[in-house]
């Protein structure tokens, strides 16, 4: 479900109009999170660490209203729930676009994730289906080969886009902590650094509670 924002009463209407006129309205932030507890819990339970942090990311996104805004035909809608559109890899090192429904329940979310991973493994190409065009998602990617400090995305500027892009990189040890870089790219007409800061706070809380 979604609901339409009244732009005339929105306190960000000038910000929205200003940044929507940009050729590149997205801005990006990269910061480390402490994934120690999530990793410990995942290994102790024999669970997927990928599942752990992807679920935590979706928990955080859904907790920040600004990251649930999407632009459609010049209007701004707020979605009740945001799901994941991750890039999932195959044994031959190609990837495809997936769709994983968000579920607050970790086990239920895991069943959907595992089913989609298997679908991708049995497929070829990018899987540019209807789910790949959904707006009620985040575009998510894991880059476990690089502990990055910056990240850009391939974008078709002529194609209207307001879906946040979130990526995680390779973890690294720093003392007792397991740090993981997280990149967030969001439409500046819909969100600011303040909202990204809220996302990181919620993400760290979700990782610690794993």
Which residues are marked as active site?
188
59, 202 contact by CB (below 8 A)? yes
86, 98 contact by CB (below 8 A)? yes
Please provide the distance, in angstroms rounded to a whole number, between the alpha carbons at the two ends of the chain.
Answer: 27
165, 24 contact by CB (below 8 A)? no
In the block, residue with structure tokens 């959904």: 134
SS3 60: helix
What count of other Cβ atoms lies within 10 Å of the Cβ of residue 111? 12
What count of other Cβ atoms lies within 10 Å of the Cβ of residue 208? 15
Cα angle 110-92-48, degrees, rounded to a multiple of 5: 20
């Amino acid at each position: 479900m979604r609901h339409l924002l009244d732009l005339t009463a929105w306190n960000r209407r000038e910000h929205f109009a200003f940044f929507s006129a940009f050729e590149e309205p997205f801005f990006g932030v990269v910061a480390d999170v402490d994934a120690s507890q999530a990793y410990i819990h995942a290994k102790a339970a024999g669970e997927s660490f990928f599942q752990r942090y992807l679920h935590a990311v979706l928990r955080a996104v859904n907790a920040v209203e600004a990251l649930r805004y999407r632009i459609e035909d010049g209007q701004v809608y707020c979605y009740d729930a945001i799901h994941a559109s991750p890039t999932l890899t195959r044994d031959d090192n190609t990837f495809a676009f997936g769709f994983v429904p968000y579920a607050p329940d970790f086990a239920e979310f895991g069943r959907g994730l595992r089913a989609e991973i298997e679908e991708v493994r049995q497929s070829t190409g990018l899987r540019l289906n209807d789910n790949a065009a959904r707006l009620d998602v985040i575009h998510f990617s894991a880059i476990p080969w690089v502990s990055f400090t910056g990240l850009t995305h391939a974008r078709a500027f002529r194609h209207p886009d307001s879906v946040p892009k979130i990526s995680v990189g390779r973890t690294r040890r720093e003392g007792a902590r397991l740090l993981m870089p997280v990149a967030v790219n969001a439409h500046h007409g819909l969100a600011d650094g303040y909202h990204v800061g809220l996302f990181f706070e919620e993400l760290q809380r979700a990782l610690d509670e794993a």
